[in-house]
Copies of this chain bind each other. A is one copy, B any other.
Amino acid sequence: MNVPDSRLSINQATIKHAPLDEALRVTAEAGVQSIGLWREPVDHVGLDVATRMLADSGLRVTSHCRGGFFTLPDGERRRAALADNRRAIEETAALAAAGAPGSVAVLVLVAGGLPDGSRDLLGARDRVRDAIGELVPDAAAAGVTLAVEPLHPMYAADRAVVSTLAQALDIAGDFDASVVGVAVDTFHIWWDPQVREQIARAGREGRIATYQVCDWRTPLPEDVLLARHQPGAGVIDFASLTGAVIDAGYTGDVEVEIFNADIWARDAATVVGETVEAFARSVSPHLP
């Protein structure tokens, strides 16, 4: 087995069924140095226990996934979503403080889809910007960067009305770059004719809060949410995209985040080992 790349981070979604203790253990035992966490497994043990577990693991934390889902019109459910995002901001700060040196306080935001029965895409997009504006003071106070993640356009109706890196940067551009950045995920943006110029722009504007990698392969599975693969298993040109991210000045860790039922069905330690090897083959050659 390879010595893992020092910049590889295992996003916890890749080993979704592992509870937090197991996720931290198999990641550290593989020699990987960092991990991206998810709220549900953290909530399952409680934030205090989670921060102690993370500190004991010796791992850096590279992101907290995820906030967002704020395309609802004004009302109780929108206020509840904003309150939940504020809790996520606090969690992100606490986890980053507990992680090993080099940890970052980045909360990934998935915008949310159209409200039920709505066709008002422009309105939903406006509400995303408004919601981020409401969260910015809290994020700034907590030292947390909100990472607006454009999702693939096939999720625009039901998952995320933010569909391109340009659009995410336009939203982020209303706010200070230390507080609002973007998530660059190869799966979501590889197809975009503007991808390289928008990655360069994200770098110029100081907005690349996290770089996540996984691959696209056809045919898509029945649930298109689970269409992700290990780097190298599909058609994405990691040389081109990783090169663009590095040229844009990104110096952080690189998360592998995979939603895939076949991968989830396997032993977490095995999956981490496979991820180490896929990353070494398909991503590491393009890192400095």
Chain B residues within 8 Å of A153, by CB: 152-154, 191-192
**Pair B224/A220 contact, Cβ less than 8 Å:** yes
Q: What residue in chain B is nearest A239 (Cβ atoms)?
A: B119
Q: Mark A146-168, 1 if CB is under 8 A from B, else 0.
A: 00000011101110000110110
Q: What residue in chain B is nearest A166 (Cβ atoms)?
A: B193
**Pair B191/A122 contact, Cβ less than 8 Å:** no
**Pair A240/B192 contact, Cβ less than 8 Å:** no
Chain B residues within 8 Å of A125, by CB: 193
CA distance A222 to B218 in the complex (A): 12
Cβ of A121 within 8 Å of any chain B Cβ, yes or no, is yes
**Pair B119/A236 contact, Cβ less than 8 Å:** yes
Instruction: Report the minimal beta-carbon distance from A243 to chain B, rounded to whole angstroms.
Output: 13
**Pair B152/A121 contact, Cβ less than 8 Å:** no
Cβ of A190 within 8 Å of any chain B Cβ, yes or no, is yes
Q: List 8 A-B contacts (CB under 8 A).
A: A122-B240, A125-B193, A153-B153, A153-B154, A156-B190, A157-B218, A166-B193, A220-B224
